[in-house]
């Protein structure tokens, strides 16, 4: 099966592109074929239109918290409220969130989705620091328009399957909460480079099979590049691909997504998330062809 991991950004350009890892899951091994860069949203939209079958993990929130959706009076289906957001200008969307937050008490300004609580992730309403709210605005409408099957928010009969990934969940298995990335090379530190090195060593070890059910064939050149990249964009794309590949191994078990999750909000895929442990890695996966859906 063809697997993609995508490190997303809300404003792609030459200096900070959308980075993706193109991989193949076959015979119990995730092979990393290439790393690509998309410097604008036109390229991202073309990327989404690649013929399937493929499964991809994207590191941006696919939805907003139900509390926000209901308080704003948005439609009660993912496709409908994403269509509403798609009709907004970026400045209007950001102003709406700011006005909403300004009218609320301290501690109740940035809501969390159920999946954010379990993954210890940031609120998808955030516009600064890590601007995942801006990433949602730029990413989710494009997923809907592309016609891909967005799980669990908007499943459709299409063999291009997209899932919400969160690379920090993978990294924590080997380096805990150590920081391993920086926004600029000038802010790089030996400690963060060592954290990336430790993480890559973990991905080369057999412990990755314990966590995800398959090994990883990264290759020396890509491993070195992942360690030397201070932004960790390449590394995050790979971590997203690992989560997407694991989800594919759970395709007979709803891709590892619990039936109780809120489809308005979305769900982050990882074997450590609630309900995921109920689905074991099917043995047949290691014998599947990469052309099978």
Per-residue pLDDT reduced to its tens digit, 8-38? 999 999 999 999 999 999 999 999 999 999 9
**What pLDDT was estimated at residue 190?**
87
pLDDT over 50 (residue 284)? no
Q: Are the CB atoms for 139 and 60 separated by under 8 Å?
A: yes
Measured CA to CA, the distance from residue 222 to residue 211 in angstroms comes to 22
pLDDT over 80 (residue 282)? no
**What pLDDT was estimated at residue 182?**
77
**What pLDDT was estimated at residue 280?**
39
Q: Is the pTM of this model over 0.85?
A: yes
**Number of helical (H) and strand (E) elements in the chain, helices listed first:** 11, 7
Where do the domains of the chain lie?
2-61+146-287, 66-145
Per-residue pLDDT reduced to its tens digit, 173-202? 999 999 998 765 555 688 999 999 999 999
Measured CA to CA, the distance from residue 181 to residue 70 in angstroms comes to 35
pLDDT (mean) for 90-94? 97
At residue 145, the 3 state secondary structure works out as helix
Measured CA to CA, the distance from residue 36 to residue 32 in angstroms comes to 11
Helices (H), 147-262: 167-175, 190-204, 207-212, 220-228, 233-249
pLDDT (mean) for 70-75? 97
């Amino acid at each position: 099966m063809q697997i993609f991991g995508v490190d997303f950004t809300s404003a792609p350009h030459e200096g900070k592109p959308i980075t993706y890892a193109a991989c193949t899951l076959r015979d119990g091994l995730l092979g990393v074929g290439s790393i690509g860069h998309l410097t604008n949203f036109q390229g991202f939209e073309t990327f989404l239109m690649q013929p399937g079958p493929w499964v991809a993990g994207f590191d941006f929130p696919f939805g907003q918290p139900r509390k926000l959706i209901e308080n704003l009076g948005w439609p009660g289906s993912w496709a409908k409220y994403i269509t509403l957001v798609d009709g907004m200008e970026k400045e209007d969307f950001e102003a709406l969130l700011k006005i909403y937050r300004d009218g609320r008490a301290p501690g109740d300004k940035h809501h969390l989705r159920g999946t954010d609580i379990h993954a210890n992730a940031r609120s998808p309403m955030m516009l600064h620091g890590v601007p995942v709210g801006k990433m949602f605005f730029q990413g989710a409408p494009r997923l809907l328009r592309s016609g891909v099957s967005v799980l669990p928010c908007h499943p459709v009969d299409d063999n291009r399957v997209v899932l919400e990934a969160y690379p920090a969940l993978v990294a924590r298995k080997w380096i805990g909460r150590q920081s391993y990335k920086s926004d600029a090379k000038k802010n790089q530190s030996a400690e963060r480079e060592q954290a990336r090195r430790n993480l890559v060593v973990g991905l080369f070890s057999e412990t990755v099979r314990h966590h995800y059910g398959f090994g990883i064939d990264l290759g020396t050149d890509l491993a070195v590049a992942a360690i030397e990249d201070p932004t960790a964009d390449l590394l995050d794309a790979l971590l997203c691909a690992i989560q997407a590949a694991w989800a594919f191994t759970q395709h007979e078990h709803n891709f590892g997504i619990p039936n109780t999750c809120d489809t308005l909000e979305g769900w982050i895929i990882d074997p450590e998330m609630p309900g995921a442990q109920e689905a074991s890695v099917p043995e047949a996966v290691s014998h599947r062809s990469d052309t099978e859906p």
